[in-house]
Amino acid sequence: MQHTADTGTQISVVEKLDGTPVKRALITGASSGLGLEFAELLAAQKVNLVLAARRQEPMEKLADALRRKHGVDIVVEPIDLAAPGAAACLKSSLDERSLQIDILVNNAGYGLHGAFLETPLERTTDMIQLNITALTELSYVFGRDMAARGSGQILLIASLLAFQPVPTFAAYAATKSYVLAFGEALHDELRPQGVVVTSLCPGHTETGFDAAAGAPVSPMLRLLTMKPRPVAESGLRALSQGKASVIAGFMNNVVAFSNRLTPRSMQRATMKRILGP
């Protein structure tokens, strides 16, 4: 079973990587949702940041606030990571300024709710490009540098939906299944090279995900909803502890564990009840 997240307010991100002080973290999807929480938590520990997302204005506002509050250096990189080749462009931009990334928080991604055949194909492929391809490319280009240095940390954001097929979230859940399997495999591959890879699996979280995905929120789903801060804390804590993966929240762990005891047909029916029509 994946590790259950401790939702205490104190968090200890690794302060040193093989004796080298942590200097800078790259957070993708940093303009909203969990990205804001990761930025606040890391800045509070005096980790310098690179914020990357499509919308520049909210990132600049966040950067100004964190600079004043924590005195850290923050670089804002407006970029559409769903565009082909975006990961390489971002890496090149940071290399030109000699900005070394010690922590990669692969947070950018979004979901689509609805019947697969009634969703425009270009929207689905755009989501796959961001949730899978961009995440993979970012892990590659920054992971290579980390492995060469013998130190680094990569946090991938999967989902509780990664553990079963989910009607009306068919493609989204499938992308998160990829992220979880990919991250756990990389955890073992890169550990001998001094690089920690951790996959965070949030359940339903108050991040604006539902509005962006066009998804209803059922009464049952509201009962399982978590605030974003403890979710982000659980991910960074698991990363600092060198864990392969973590599910945020006790009830979400129960849901994931129950999949081991039920047939997949029942899993699909359960998710339809929880997520609504």
- Which residues are catalytically annotated? 172
Cβ neighbors of 188 (< 8 A, separation 6 or more) are 244
- Can you name the residues that pair with 28 across neighbouring β-strands? 52
Please tell me the distance from the alpha carbon of residue 59 to that of residue 108, in angstroms, as a whole number.
13
Please tell me the distance from the alpha carbon of residue 208 to that of residue 29, in angstroms, as a whole number.
13
Strand positions, DSSP E, the chain: 3-4, 16-17, 20-21, 24-28, 48-53, 74-78, 103-106, 152-157, 195-201, 245-247
Cβ neighbors of 225 (< 8 A, separation 6 or more) are 203, 204, 205, 206, 217
Distance of CA 234 to the CA centre of its chain: 12
Please tell me the distance from the alpha carbon of residue 73 to that of residue 238, in angstroms, as a whole number.
25
Given the DSSP bridges, would you call strands 74-78 and 3-4 parallel, antiparallel or unpaired? unpaired
